[in-house]
Structure 1
Amino acid sequence: MSVYRNFNQVELDKQYNVRGGIPDFLDIFSRWSHSSAAFRSANRVLENIPYGINETQNLDFFPAATAGRPLLVFIHGGYWQSLDKSDFSYLAAPYIKRDINVAVVNYRLAPTVGMDEIVADNRDALIWLYRNAETLAFDRDKIFLSGHSAGGHLTATMVSIDWTTHGLPANVLKGACAISGLYDLEPIRLCYLNKAVGLTPAQVEQFSPTKKLPAVNTPLILTVGGNESDEYHRLQAEYAELLGAKGMEIQIVRQADGHHFDAVDRLGDAENELGKAMLQLIERFS
């Protein structure tokens, strides 16, 4: 029986079970953790800066050598229910090398909280960073955002926020990069992931980027691993088509190969097309 589009339950679950298609995913997570710990040991970092009162509402900040430089913020993935900012410090390497500040954000996770709180945490982290730019010595008018998987969804969601209702400029985000993003939450609600995420139909409507497009033309890079499931490619294609129809500036970085976790590694590689695209976008405003 069809559950979503032409998929039955088993087929739909397989489309979104990224770990199931990557047998060595635990080795990848271990590499991320060790590489990130080594990067933090070798570079200046302000760890676990709170932006809220919950112990999970914190971020790591890697300062540039020069005051007044841009900031790249990264939101980690993990299907809104796993992983940690400390796993992704390694991504900061090519940006720090080019005198660009980097912040990696933690947020509360499902099933302890729902999508409303997860979105609010990431919004509040960006507000906190904007308001504390002088203390952290970066240029609040040059904030860029990136995220992977669930973080790609949250990145697209942040791009659609009306920041003026929070006392920030409408164009507070000068550019963004969503990697392997989940732009329509309906298949998440209908697959195995919802046992932890707990999405309701109302939340799907409220927090699906395809249903709430940006009001401000924020330059947006979209990418997905070449070998990822058909659903990941479909989600990106449909979101890109909607953005394009609205006249938004989008850049598709096509990856000829690579699975779900290779895709995020490429953000931290200045020699890869994705890393190059992110650096070029930031440097446009530098």
Structure 2
Amino acid sequence: MSVYRNFNQECLDKQYNVRGGIPGYQAIFDRWARESRDFRATHPVRENLAYGDDPKQALDFFPAISRGRPLLVFIHGGYWQSLDKSDFSYVAAPYLRHDINVAVVNYRLAPDVPMAAIVRDNQEALAWLYRQAEVLGFDGNRIFVSGHSAGGHLTAAMAGTNWEQFGVPAGLVKGGCAISGLYDLEPIRLCYLNQVVRLTPADVAAYSPVHHLPTTKLPMILTVGGDESDEYHRLQAQYAALLREQGVETEVVVQARGHHFDAVDYLGNAEGELAAAVLRMIAAAS
């Protein structure tokens, strides 16, 4: 019996079960945590800056050498229910080398809070950063957002946010990089993940980036691991087409190979094409 498109329940679940397709994924998580811990030990960082009252509503800020430089925000993945900002400090390396500030954001997770709160947390984090630009020493008019998996979804959601409702400029986000993003939440609602995420049809309509495209002409970079499931590739192709129809400058960085967790590593690889594309995007807005 078809549950979504041409997938029965088992096949749909397999399309989105990224851990199931990556033997030894825990070793990857352990490496991220270890490399990020080492990175924080050797780079200046302001840890656990609170943008809200909950302990999860906090971020780590890695300052550039010079004042008034751009800011790249990173939003972690984990299917809205796991992982932590402390696992991803290492992605800051290529950008700090180019005198670009980096902020790595935490947010509340499912099932403790619904999707509305998860999206709102990230919006509040970006609005808070904008208001703290002078204190933290970066250029509040050059804020860029990146994220992986669920963070890719949230990056796209930030790009499509009406920022004026937060009392900040409509063009708060100057560009985005979404890695292995989940741009339509309907298959998530229908697969095994919804046992924890608990999406409703109203959530799908309200928080799917395919239904809320950017209204400003910010550039967007999209990428997905070459070996990821067909659904991840389909979601990216669909979102890229919609962005281009909207007149949004959209660059797709092709990864010939690589699984879901390799994809985010490329953001922190100074020698790779993804980091180069992000650096070009930031430089173009300077």
TM-score higher than 0.5: yes
Partner of residue 215, structure 2: 215
- Match of 2:88, SS state, is helix
Partner of residue 9, structure 2: 9
- Match of 2:282, SS state, is helix
Are 2:200 and 1:200 aligned?
A: yes
Partner of residue 68, structure 1: 68
After TM superposition, the score normalised by the length of structure 1 is 0.99
Partner of residue 138, structure 1: 138
Partner of residue 238, structure 1: 238
Distance in 1 between residues matched to 2:135 and 2:118, nearest whole Å: 26
Partner of residue 119, structure 1: 119
Listed one character per residue, the Cα deviations across residues 215-266 of structure 1 (whole Å, up to 9, x for unaligned) are 1111000000000000000000011111111111100001000000000000
- Match of 1:15, SS state, is helix
Partner of residue 20, structure 2: 20
Distance in 2 between residues matched to 1:228 and 1:130, nearest whole Å: 35
**1:169: how far off?**
1.3
Partner of residue 34, structure 1: 34
Q: How does 1:95-114 map to 2 (within 5 A)?
A: 95-114=95-114
**1:284: how far off?**
1.3
For 1:230, the aligned partner's letter is D
Distance in 1 between residues matched to 2:127 and 2:61, nearest whole Å: 15
- Match of 1:49, SS state, is strand
List alignment gaps of at least 5 residues for structure 2: none
- Match of 1:112, SS state, is coil
Number of residue pairs matched by the alignment: 286
Partner of residue 172, structure 2: 172
For 2:211, the aligned partner's letter is K
Q: How does 1:87-102 map to 2 (within 5 A)?
A: 87-102=87-102
Listed one character per residue, the Cα deviations across residues 22-71 of structure 1 (whole Å, up to 9, x for unaligned) are 00100000000000000000000000010000011000000001111000
After TM superposition, the score normalised by the length of structure 2 is 0.99
**1:285: how far off?**
2.1
User: After TM superposition, where is structure 1 displaced by more than 2 Å over at least 4 residues in a row?
Assistant: none
List alignment gaps of at least 5 residues for structure 1: none
Distance in 2 between residues matched to 1:219 and 1:34, nearest whole Å: 33
Partner of residue 185, structure 1: 185
Q: How does 1:150-165 map to 2 (within 5 A)?
A: 150-165=150-165
**1:127: how far off?**
0.4
